[in-house]
Amino acid sequence: MLMYCKTSSERASKGQGGNKFVSVEITADEGNTVMLQATMECEETPTETIYRLFNGDIQVDTLRVAKGKQETGETMCKQRNCKNVATIGDFCNHCFPF
């Protein structure tokens, strides 16, 4: 017995991007018998991303992923008590040892 998977998205086929949810239907018997219907929803908040898994109308699981502090790409000066941004290696222009 061989099993195959077919995926499709009306929005993706039109080049419109994604959705905040994905619905999955698993069938057997050449598509005549539904074995599983599930939906996963995604919700973005300022502090976390929440994924909810539903089996029909019943919520069966939730995953919360905290958002970390976004990196600015700036490094602070390594000199003691200096609050300036490092511009020359690990030191700022004021503290760089000449």
From start to end of 1-98, where are the E strands?
A: 21-28, 33-44, 48-55, 58-66
Given this model, what pLDDT does residue 52 score? Answer: 93
pLDDT tens, position by position, 2-49? 666 666 666 666 666 667 888 888 888 888 888 888 999 999 888 888
**Does 70 score more than 60 pLDDT?**
no
Residues near 85 by beta carbon (within 8 Å), at least 6 away in sequence: 74, 75, 76, 77, 92
Q: Give the phi and the psi of residue 29 in degrees, each rounded to 5.
A: 60, 50
Both tokens assigned to 6: 């077919």
> For residue 25, what are the β-bridge partners?
37
The residue that leads in pLDDT, 63 or 4, is 63
Burial zone of 83 (CB within 10 Å; 0-12 exposed, 13-18 middle, 19+ buried): exposed
pLDDT tens, position by position, 71-80? 566 677 777 7
Locate the domains of the chain by residue range: 10-66, 71-98
